[in-house]
Structure 1
């Protein structure tokens, strides 16, 4: 692969899609690592991503020493320990350490330190269980996932007084933005199936939730995604304060609200749609629409109808996506790359 003077974020995405099918994938891995070291990345914040991708390529090609070097550099490249990408890089490093006999204890210590992420980061259930599986610790993965599920179900029971499947389905999220509980149940179900453990109540719950989410996704496709609606922070805070029963539809907090929208916009962009915009709504507008139609705010048709009503109004439409270094579309005042862009991966 010819050396590029500067590697952009778009180049990284292309390498992620095509590197393993290239004539010299290990050359691509080395190129990515050199670009990070030599400051040849268009966005310095991409250093950790470039090194993580290099480690993944080297791991697949069975160059474990190189993969571990890249992974260790990737971990160091994320200065913010709360960056969701840092957790994946650390779990990848632990997965590689399991394959070095005298560093198995170090691998387990690293994953144990990451264990609290299971109840905070949606992707953690997948990458932690995968690393434990690779180290022959699937039983530990089942134990950790089960404990995390119990923790979230216990928190929900304390907040609502119930853990009924229909109520937990709200906590699980939407098809476009499943919640942490959904991912935990999904990965726990997978691990238990591989361990040939008997089906239990939470396995049943995982099956039911997946069926419900598939149905919701089909309904969303039929309506063309008309429920896509953004509430600026002040409006959102007022919305959930006045109508807490709408958190299942729009998110438990503003961070979750923005993350759901960002992931849905990314999904639509990946289908080839261009010229995407985010319609911005107001509490008064939504309640007014419900009043005119004589329906309850909890009715999905009311939310979809109001979104359709707002969508043709140019003043209410926010162009998406902004450039990485431009102000984020959500109005937070932060750069897009520091605000909602990472939410598409969370």
Structure 2
């Protein structure tokens, strides 16, 4: 099959969802590689992603030589980047090398990725998956154990994290290690117990959130947000202490709602005059019920901001930057 002239990041995400069910997935993989190398990507930084996707498609059809060619070009396209996407491509390369019987080469490719275990939340999963593909589950368990101990030492805090959020990347390390040790039939240790305690806290917090009224999606543009905190400083708690925090709160809530199955989400451009007017003389704008009522009022009007925009589209917050360079990373 042939793609349109230029592929956006959104197109690549759609292809990831649909390629394996297509009539000719290997043709799609070849077209992705061609698009990356012929400069037919809207964002040239997506070349590594497109080539890694081609490699995954080829691997899924057991075309390992082709998969290795694609993923090696992906790693080359990422260059010196040390972010999670680049690390994922290198781990994919190691996984394919394992499947080709090149164990020593695969382990040599994975060894430099070990520092990512304590830096990126998804690194524990993709590094473990690569090792497991090569029958190296016990090596993965050893690496995860050492990373957990390193993360605990780096935190400089001897107190146990009180929540998954406080634990940060440590939470993902603990969970990946706990699942792997369970699969290996290993007896629980102190790290396994900590993983279970954090999981329980996360579950309880999620249940409490689900039981509570859904937070509103009131969005104050930057000048309006500054006026809001000047007039009503108590609203820094629900809306954020600054505009960056305000946008981060909204982006994370939108992601949470999407994960929970919501669709057609929109942000509701709000004003200080509108909120205080809705509250009236006797109401408190900081009251959650008042805010929810104001949000409900705005939800019936025009001017709502649809979410999410395309990765390369203008960000919903009106900053003028691309979404992927502005509010998208705030959900992490």
* 1:196 aligns to 2:185 (yes or no): yes
- Whether the aligned pair in 2 keeps the contact of 1:56 and 1:67 (CA below 8 Å) is yes
Structure 1 position 69, deviation (Å): 0.9
The aligned residue for residue 118 of structure 2 is: 119
The aligned residue for residue 276 of structure 1 is: 266
Task: State how many pairs are aligned.
Answer: 310
- Whether the aligned pair in 2 keeps the contact of 1:279 and 1:310 (CA below 8 Å) is no
Q: 1:279 to 1:331 in 2, by over 3 A?
A: same
Structure 1 position 59, deviation (Å): 0.8
Map 1:301-316 → 2, pairs under 5 A: 308=292, 311=295
User: For 1:223, which of 212, 215, 218 is the aligned residue?
Assistant: 212
Structure 1 position 326, deviation (Å): 5.0
> What's the secondary structure of 1:98's corresponding residue?
helix
Determine the C-alpha separation between the residues in 2 that align with 1:67 and 1:260.
39
The aligned residue for residue 166 of structure 2 is: 171
Q: 1:65 to 1:21 in 2, by over 3 A?
A: same
Unaligned runs of 5+ in 1: 173-178, 239-245, 286-292, 294-301
Output the TM-score relative to the length of structure 1.
0.72
RMSD (Å), alpha carbons: 4.1
The aligned residue for residue 38 of structure 1 is: 38
Map 1:144-155 → 2, pairs under 5 A: 144-155=143-154
Determine the C-alpha separation between the residues in 1 that align with 2:187 and 2:243.
39
Runs of 4+ displaced beyond 6 Å: 227-233, 253-260, 278-282, 302-307
Structure 1 position 17, deviation (Å): 1.4
Unaligned runs of 5+ in 2: 230-236, 276-282, 299-303
- Whether the aligned pair in 2 keeps the contact of 1:55 and 1:67 (CA below 8 Å) is yes
Output the TM-score relative to the length of structure 2.
0.75
Determine the C-alpha separation between the residues in 1 that align with 2:83 and 2:248.
15
Q: 1:64 to 1:82 in 2, by over 3 A?
A: same
Q: Please tell me whether Structure 1 or Structure 2 has the larger radius of gyration of its CA atoms.
A: 2
